[in-house]
Amino acid sequence: MSVFLPFFFYWIFVFSCQMFSLGAGYKPDDYPELSDFTIIVLATWRNAIGDIYAPDYHKWSENLNAEDAVKDEESARTGVTYTYVMITLVWLIWWLNQLFLFLVLTNFLISIIGNSFGDNIEKNMEVAYANKIDLNVETALFKKWMGNDQKFDTLIFLCPAEDSSSGELDESEVLNRISTKMKTQQESMAALRSDLDGKVDANTEKMLKLNAMAESK
């Protein structure tokens, strides 16, 4: 869509400019208080989405009558030919507008939307979880604001194993597993602490040595 829409509006603009430059337009009855060019853009848009109506080239028609009345035969014939060429071009632009914008691009748009819908309808789980997570963050923020943000240092998630069909849990089994895991965690914590202590001791020793050196100097 991000490519299609600019492309579509670009062609609406081009066809509108064409119509405007040819001195034609659309009847202003439906568009009071709007400029000629705005009327053409809106009418081109309406034509592009299937609300078809004919162009208005009354200025060329008036010109045709004026040519006949004022000029000599030869120049009148040239003027008439020129006017008819212009009227033909107006209809050609109108026809291209229908062919390219309405028949090709609008149907193309329908197929893009159809494909996009087909691709995304399978993403219902992703979308559902994305929405849930958004609302979860909002709620958590709200709870934090209200002073209800629960604090903890340990998270335990219990869920049935993937191949199991029952939703019942064995209490003692769960407790055993948790205590085993906690022991492992405690050991790693102790290792981390001793590692840090070691580093602190080494640093302190270094500092003391440096201080002693500085004092002796």
Q: How far is the CB of 160 from another protein (least distance, A)?
A: 7
Q: How far is the CB of 207 from another protein (least distance, A)?
A: 8
Please tell me whether residue 196 binds another protein under the rule CB under 8 A. Answer: yes
Give the range of 7-15, 31-39, 101-109, 141-149 binding another protein by CB under 8 A: 141-149
Give dist(CA 196, CA 171) in Å, integer.
Answer: 37
Which of helix, strand or coil describes residue 140? helix
Please tell me whether residue 212 binds another protein under the rule CB under 8 A. Answer: no
Please tell me whether residue 182 binds another protein under the rule CB under 8 A. Answer: yes
Residue with tokens 């509108």: 16
CA angle 48, 52, 56 (to 5 degrees): 105
* Alpha helices (H) along 29-72: 36-48, 58-70
Please tell me whether residue 139 binds another protein under the rule CB under 8 A. Answer: yes
Q: How far is the CB of 5 from another protein (least distance, A)?
A: 15
- Strand partners for 164: none
The single-letter DSSP state of residue 29 is G
Helix axes 58-70, 73-96, angle to 10 degrees: 170
Binds another protein by CB under 8 A, chosen from 49, 54, 128, 212: 128
Q: Which positions lie near another protein, rule CB under 8 A?
A: 116-117, 120-121, 123-145, 149-164, 166-175, 177-179, 181-182, 185, 188-189, 192-193, 196, 207
